[in-house]
């Protein structure tokens, strides 16, 4: 709500736009039956109605709900006459649904996915959703990130709790061995090689939301720099108002995307 939060910016587009785009895709390909799975359901159903799309049924499932609810949703999909299924779900929820459906596979159907799961490489192991289509945030390369990640040393990783946890779980050794005697893991010896890891966290070829967050962070940083600094110096004691940050961010967006 821009009236209540006039300085609010998103790092990724609103799901309302994705729901509308999915509805138009269904209409474009003539898939007039669909099933829709969670928080985006209301937006999709509204957009589907505006596009004149027939929705046979809609169901919601969350991973915290009982297994019986998941089985019920899976049975509804199996019995449905609809051959196109729109699943607006988180990747974890979608994996649970596909695992359940794999126990007794339904007839072939066209899956239409939301960005949260349609780009998840772990979905490739499910034959059920081969040929799934959807919308995704473009893949991007963050300049210097790959080299930064692979050049990390144990000493650098130890400075940041998140990197410490990543290093220790990846190499099954402890960076804190000398100070934490409660751990049973052997100490890291510095020969660990990040480049030799087969790990999704070191795969920098699929950066989507990460890149959006990266750009948003730099946009705010440049806005703050524009507020407190001029061509000669920067002010150390200055009160920054939200509207000023808003103005400079919009100014940057207008410059890069006229």
- Let me know whether 102 and 48 are in one domain: yes
pLDDT of residue 54: 67
34 pLDDT exceeds 50? Answer: no
- Let me know whether 114 and 225 are in one domain: no
- Let me know whether 111 and 71 are in one domain: yes
* Residue 79 resides in a domain: yes
**pLDDT class for 235, splitting at 50, 70, 90?**
confident
- Let me know whether 108 and 123 are in one domain: yes
Q: What percent of the chain has pLDDT over 70?
A: 83
- Let me know whether 193 and 114 are in one domain: no
- Let me know whether 73 and 126 are in one domain: yes
Task: Give me Rg for the CA atoms of the chain.
Answer: 24
* Beta bridge mates, 86: 112
Burial class (CB within 10 angstroms; exposed 0-12, middle 13-18, buried 19+) of 143 = exposed
Q: How many domains does the chain have?
A: 3
- Let me know whether 21 and 124 are in one domain: yes
The residue segments making up the domain with residue 234 are: 209-256
**pLDDT class for 41, splitting at 50, 70, 90?**
low
Instruction: Determine the average pLDDT of the residues in 201-216.
Output: 82
Instruction: Determine the average pLDDT of the residues in 55-76.
Output: 82
* Residue 93 resides in a domain: yes
DSSP state of 94: H
pLDDT of residue 84: 84
What CATH number corresponds to the domain at position 129? Answer: 3.40.50.2300
**pLDDT class for 253, splitting at 50, 70, 90?**
low
- Let me know whether 219 and 161 are in one domain: no
161 pLDDT exceeds 60? Answer: yes
- Let me know whether 19 and 87 are in one domain: yes
- Let me know whether 99 and 168 are in one domain: no
- Nearest residue to 225 (alpha-carbon basis) of 242, 243, 245, 241: 245
**pLDDT class for 150, splitting at 50, 70, 90?**
confident
pTM: 0.63
The mean of the pLDDT values for the chain is 80
The 10s digit of each residue's pLDDT in 185-208 is 888 888 898 888 887 777 787 788
pLDDT of residue 37: 38
Last residue of a domain, one of 161, 176, 202: 202
Higher pLDDT, 71 or 255: 71
pLDDT of residue 1: 66
Q: Identify the sign of the CA torsion 183, 188, 194, 195.
A: negative
Judged by DSSP in three states, 36 sits in: coil
Last residue of a domain, one of 166, 187, 202: 202
């Amino acid at each position: 709500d821009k009236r209540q939060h006039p300085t609010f910016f998103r790092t990724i587009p609103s799901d309302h736009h994705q729901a509308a785009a999915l509805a138009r895709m269904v209409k474009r390909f003539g898939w007039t039956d669909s099933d829709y799975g969670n928080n985006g359901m209301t937006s999709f159903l509204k957009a589907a109605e505006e596009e004149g799309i027939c929705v046979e049924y809609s169901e919601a499932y969350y991973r915290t709900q009982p297994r019986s609810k998941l089985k019920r949703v899976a049975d509804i999909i199996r019995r449905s006459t609809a051959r196109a299924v729109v699943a607006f779900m988180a990747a974890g929820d979608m994996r649970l649904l596909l695992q359940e459906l794999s126990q007794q596979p339904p007839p072939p159907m066209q899956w239409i996915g939301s960005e949260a799961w349609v780009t998840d490489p772990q979905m490739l192991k499910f034959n059920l959703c081969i040929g799934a289509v959807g919308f995704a945030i473009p893949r991007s390369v963050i300049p210097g990130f790959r080299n930064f990640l692979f050049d990390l040393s144990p000493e650098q990783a130890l400075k940041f709790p998140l990197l410490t946890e990543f290093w220790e779980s990846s190499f099954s050794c402890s960076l804190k061995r000398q100070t934490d005697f409660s751990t049973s893991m052997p100490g890291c010896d510095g020969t660990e090689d990040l480049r030799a890891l087969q790990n999704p966290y070191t795969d920098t070829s699929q950066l989507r939301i990460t890149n959006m967050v990266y750009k948003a962070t730099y946009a705010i940083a440049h806005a703050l720099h524009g507020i407190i600094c001029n061509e000669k110096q920067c002010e150390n004691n200055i009160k920054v108002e939200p509207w000023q940050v808003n103005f400079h961010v919009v100014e940057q967006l207008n410059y890069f995307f006229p």
